[in-house]
Structure 1
Amino acid sequence: MREVDLDVFASELAEGAFAIDVREPDEYRAGHVPGVRTAPLSELGAHLPALPADRPVYVICASGNRSAWAAERLEAVGVRAVSVAGGTSGWARTGRPIVDGTDARSA
């Protein structure tokens, strides 16, 4: 399983990377990285058909623990998954933008 830091993730996201947030819906609605789709860990299997097969899927959570676990599971089923170290909490701590659930998009 690959892992990237927030700077690499920010750069990849700016270039159009596909990213999912595996936190639960209430966490996602409370604040998430702009452009990142929701795919709660508890429902991850249901989102598999929507994940791209031709490029990496960046996986983010609150701090990096759930995203690492999810990325390992996704890789086990053939998805090129990359965990984002530091998560949404780290993203916010560095002053990067956070949006609320009003623009929620499912994976």
Structure 2
Amino acid sequence: MAVSLQEMMAEANAAVARISVAKAQDLVAQGALLLDVRDAPELEAQGRATGSHHISRGMLEFRADPNSPFHDPALRPDRTVVLHCASGGRAALAGKLLKDMGFGEVYNLGGFAEWKEAGAAVEEPVDRGMTP
């Protein structure tokens, strides 16, 4: 039977706790990975959370699996992961995926805008100058 986006989101939100920026900062200070799952053009246009690690949502499975030739060693099942995207939807789905892959502590910070609005440190987009 087909599953709708609404059902997938409900399942992801039930599996992955949504946390505040303050809680995310505490976890990162304790060694958690702050993982931005937005696409590269979004980071270029909007900037990124200072100290965040970037893996686009589309590559997450490949980067998370230690048996993949594309594995990212920053992603470890024993390391707490705090995800964010633009609004929290992709982060929730990504968090559920990581939990399904055996990651223990996974949290959804929500969106990058929440991070910025809370006054958390950001790296602004690079001024591309005259480059098209």
Shorter-chain TM band = 0.7 to 0.9
Shift of 1:101: 6.0
> 1:56 Cα deviation (Å)?
1.3
Match of 1:35 in 2: 51
Task: Please provide the CA RMSD for this pair.
Answer: 1.7
Q: Which sections of structure 2, spanning at least 5 residues, go unmatched?
A: 1-15, 67-71, 127-132
Counterpart Cα distance in 2 of 1:2 and 1:94: 19
Matches within 5 A, 1:1-80: 1-29=16-44, 30-48=46-64, 49=66, 50=72, 51-80=75-104
Equivalents in 2 of 1:43, 1:101: separation in Å?
22
Question: Which residue pairs with 1:93 in the alignment?
Answer: 117
**What code does the residue aligned with 2:49 have?**
V
Deviation at 1:25, TM superposition (A): 0.6
Q: TM-score, normalised by structure 1?
A: 0.82
Superposed CA offset, 1:26-73 (max 9, x none): 112331111111110111112113211212111111121110111011
Give the TM-score of the pair, scaled to structure 2.
0.68
Q: RCO (CA 8 Å, sep 6+): is it higher in 1 or 2?
A: 1
Letter of the 2:34 counterpart: A
Larger Rg: 2
Shift of 1:76: 0.8
What percent identity do the matched residue pairs reach? 27
